[in-house]
Amino acid sequence: MEIKVLGPGCAKCKTTFSVIEKVLNENNIEAKLTKVDDIMEIMKYNIISTPAVAVDDTVMIKGHVPTEAEIKKLLGL
């Protein structure tokens, strides 16, 4: 599984990355977690508000910082 946090590196993007990282670590889930801050790369996902979260290149969350519960639900926990 590959999870990407899409955003320019703002505080909300960093918080989103931290929330996802925490959920992955607490649940022993192995996934490739990366930040995408290149605007040209972000534009490929056709989003207009960040932060956004893409799982296996499908945008699942956009425009807000997700809660831990939201990430758990997204990962099927």
Residue 77 is predicted with a pLDDT of 86
Residue 9 is predicted with a pLDDT of 85
Q: What SS3 class is residue 70?
A: helix
Domain ranges of the chain: 2-74
Active site residues: 10, 13
Contact call for residues 36 and 13 (beta carbons, < 8 A): no
Cis peptide before 8 (omega within 30 of 0): no
Give residue for tokens 């990407």: 4
CA distance 51 to 53: 7
Q: Under CATH, which architecture does the 2-74 domain have?
A: 3-Layer(aba) Sandwich (3.40)
pTM for the structure as a whole: 0.91
- Name residues of the chain where pLDDT drops below 50: none
Burial of 69 (0-12, 13-18, 19+ CB in 10 A): exposed
